[in-house]
Chain A
Amino acid sequence: MAQGPSLRAGVGADGDLLSAEGDWTAAHAADLDRLAHAAPPHVRKLTISLEGVGRLDTFGVWALERLRRSVVEAGAQAQLAIPQDARADLFAGVDKALARPSGQTGRRDRWGTLLHRLGRSAEAFAVDFAAFLDLTGRLTFCFAQGLRHPARLRLRSAVHHLDRTGLRAVPIIALMCFLIGCILAQQGFFHFQRFGATDYVVDLVTILVLREIGVLLVTIMVAGRSGSAYTAEIGSMKMREEIDALRTMGLDPVEYLILPRILALIVAAPLLTIIGNGAALYGAGVVAWIYGDMSPAVYIERLHEAASHIDLEVGLIKAPVMAFVIGAVAALEGMKVQGSAESLGLGATASVVRSIFFVIVLDGIFAVLFAAMGM
């Protein structure tokens, strides 16, 4: 018969007696928890008898041991009549767990003070920056060697990644840039109408798209699409010791895994930027025609006047540099992944957030540089 656990108080031959009865098993966890703290007050000498116990498992043993210990801690004597059969092993295991020094019950303090955290993040930043420089050096070295021995450039792998990060990104990037071009033009016509300056909408759209919006949209999309994928791939290879396997074969993971991916990104980013620019200007033209009453012929003529090759160059020069940073950040975050699924997720998030941040920072630096150069 299944029957919940209970304690019956009585008087034994030698002091007080508690008889445990019923099933002391996990199914009655709440009762066990209550009984574990149900030590009778004012006892001097207590014996806990197990004769009436039906089924007994680790949870039951825990409750009995806790009960005994609470009596002992109150300064009285207590003993447990441990059955001399296989069940004694359960008592031994629980005894070991309960006998641990009390200082070690708490979890390690993972967070520490604010100052501690500030110092840690500064240190982490320095370590990350050093790792970035280190990777840049390795990549340059591998690339230089690859120029002398083209087989070591792993072009087949690079082309595979070019297909994934470049060709397959074309539809989404074209669509996104087309929409942004439409929106820019619509906003331009709407607001410039008040000043009668709709003639300048084309100048606005052209310069914005060619210099800034096109390349930014493309690189942000690439960071979200390909950077996160690179981090996840390299991170899971790290978790499964595949990278260690490469190393023990005497092969360099930078040459095999990272350089082809980054080369693919560096080639893909300017090409995608050109496609994105075209799509955005096309979208702007469609809006100019439908919404701004500007015929396509006029739009194209204005475009010719507004756009210079310098604007295009400004955008295209930025693309490969940003692509390099995205690829390098993705690879570094991937290599930092430890054993857990959580750290893989953190790595992928950090990869996207950091590379987008660096893309924007770089864009600012380029803006200053180009202004100084008069471009």
Chain B
Amino acid sequence: MEADEVITVSDLHVTLAGHEVVRGLSFQVRRGEIVGLVGASGSGKTVLLRTMLGLLPKTSGTVEIMGVRLEQATPAESRRIGGRCGMMFQQGALFSSLTLRENVEFPMREYLDGSDAMYGDVALAKLAMVGLSVEDADKLPSEISGGMTKRVAIARALALDPDILFLDEPTSGLDPIAAGEIDRLIRTLQRVLNLTVFMVTHDLNSLKSVCTRILALYDGRIIAQGPMQDILAFDHPWLRAYFRGERGRAAQLA
């Protein structure tokens, strides 16, 4: 059996354009957790996520995903890791010249050895799970709305039924019903596939109903972590403002 810690980040520093954005972060994510990363705009959430995925260079520190250090990984290892991680980008990052179904099929074709019929059916199933109809599957990304783009991006991140799912603001820009469906989908998949989810989100409802643990990032450091009630009890001016402002209170009443 593999180690329980699927993501280990230790003493991570990232400097972008002379400015230290991430300043000595350490945390671990265990299998099956749904971790929500919160922080003000510009606090380094997306930078952290991109560094964990190896899209941005880090100044110092280490990131281990499923026991493999990304910078030391052999091409075979990084391919294996790539097949077991799904990433949903904030803007969707769908391949604009492929149809929605082809977008979801794409990782399957690259990583699996099944048949076209299998890819097609499973891709449609993924699209159905995120709430798209079969008729939409042959549309191009430029023909669909922003909310649908998010859903298709999640479907593509889930294409391989990955072990770890990285989500960058999965519910922003969605109506409350769609956001609720996405939350439910994330919970379901987590239970069924024992998925580990690491998500950046501002959606207080998602944080409350989906996340098992919250990491609060402020000024490039983690100032608090734990389940929602611990974070709420934590005394920090920014956290107070974030969770107990008008919108925060409204979400907790819900």
Contacts and interface: CB of A to CB of B under 8 A. Distances in A.
Contact of B125 (A56, A62, A340): A62
Which secondary structure dominates chain B's binding surface? helix
Given A62-B122, A339-B96, A26 B161 contact: yes
B192 interface: yes
Contacts of B141: 339-340
A7 interface: no
A33 B125 contact: no
Contacts of B160: 26
Interface string A41-57: 00000000000000111
Contacts of B120: 105
Given A26-B112, A29-B113, A66 B121 contact: yes
Contacts of A66: 121
B114 interface: yes
Interface in A86-127: 86-87, 89-90, 93-94, 96-98, 100, 104-105, 107-108
Interface residues of B, number: 33
B38 to A, nearest CB: 26
B97 interface: yes
A375 interface: no
A338 interface: yes
B125 A58 contact: yes
A316 interface: no
B96 A341 contact: yes
Interface string B99-114: 0000000001001111
Given A30-B113, A93-B128, A340-B141, A62 B192 contact: no
Interface residues of A, number: 36
Contacts of B121: 62, 66, 94, 97-98
A342 B161 contact: no
A108 B127 CA distance: 19
Given A89-B192, A98-B121, A57 B97 contact: no
Contacts of B158: 58
B118 A97 contact: no
B200 to A, nearest CB: 23
A32 interface: yes
Contacts of B114: 29-30, 32-33, 59
A86 B188 contact: yes
Nearest to B144: A339
Contact of A25 (B124, B128, B143, B161): B161
A339 B143 contact: yes
A36 interface: yes
Contacts of B128: 93-94, 96-97
Contacts of A107: 138
A82 to B, nearest CB: 12
B66 to A, nearest CB: 14
Interface in A49-89: 55-59, 61-63, 66, 85-87, 89
Interface string B121-136: 1101111110000110
Most B-side CB within 10 Å, residue of A36, A58, A338: A58
Interface in A114-148: none
Interface in A247-298: none
A341 B125 CA distance: 27
Nearest to B120: A105
B134 A340 contact: no
Contacts of B229: none
Interface string B75-98: 000000000000000000000110
Contacts of A86: 188, 191-192
Nearest to B116: A33
A281 B3 CA distance: 76
Contact of A96 (B125, B135, B161): B125
Given A58-B125, A59-B122, A97-B128, A339 B142 contact: yes
B122 A100 contact: no
A97 B114 CA distance: 17
Interface string B180-219: 0000000010011110000000000000000000000000
16 contacts: A26-B111, A26-B112, A26-B160, A29-B113, A55-B193, A55-B194, A57-B161, A57-B193, A58-B125, A59-B122, A90-B188, A94-B125, A97-B125, A97-B128, A107-B138, A339-B141
Given A59-B112, A100-B124, 11 more contacts: A30-B113, A55-B194, A59-B161, A61-B125, A86-B192, A93-B129, A96-B128, A100-B134, A108-B138, A339-B141, A341-B96
Interface of B: 96-97, 108, 111-115, 118, 120-122, 124-129, 134-135, 138, 140-143, 158, 160-161, 188, 191-194
